[in-house]
Amino acid sequence: MNQNEILRVKNLVRNIPDFPVPGIQFKDLTTAFKNPTALRVLTDALVELYKDRGVTKVVGIESRGFIGGSMLAVSLGAGFVPIRKPGKLPAETLSRSYDKEYGTDTIEIHSDAIEPGDVVVLHDDLLATGGTMRAAYELVKSMGPQKIYINFLCELDALNGRQLLPNDVEVTSLFSF
């Protein structure tokens, strides 16, 4: 992973004050996603992390986790599984509620999305307090995969989101604020 290229991508991230609620400093990665060079750098960096891990499924968390998750899945020849907000998936689902930095939310996954032999990368664009990813991890873990990795493009260090994630799972971020 070329750290100079990653730094250039990080510098493309826009800060949006008071979004979605007052007091939140939202890190908007869409400014990096719209840049084709940055998108290639992110894809290459993700692939480098997981290319030799036997990944069979990449699980992306709604909605920006769909972007990096899909890029990674295609590049690895793995399947892509969405985790969505309630009522968005058409078949039988499993759900988990969780607290986040500005409220409570629930996520769902299709109940047949993960199989016991799967090696899974759970992916989202950003790690803040860790609540969303912890709930996603619990959903996927309950389905009995062989191995789970957790990945973010960006991490907000001051919010200590890693503390909420399991200690026995490798957690990676490409850059942090």
Catalytic residues: 64, 101
Distance CA 74, CA 161 (A): 28
- The amino acid sitting at 128 is A
- Residues in a beta bridge with 107: 96
Distance CA 166, CA 169 (A): 6
- Residues in a beta bridge with 104: 99
Q: What is 109-162 written as a DSSP string? A: EETTS--TT-EEEEEEEEESSSHHHHHHHHHHHTT--SEEEEEEEEE-GGGTGG
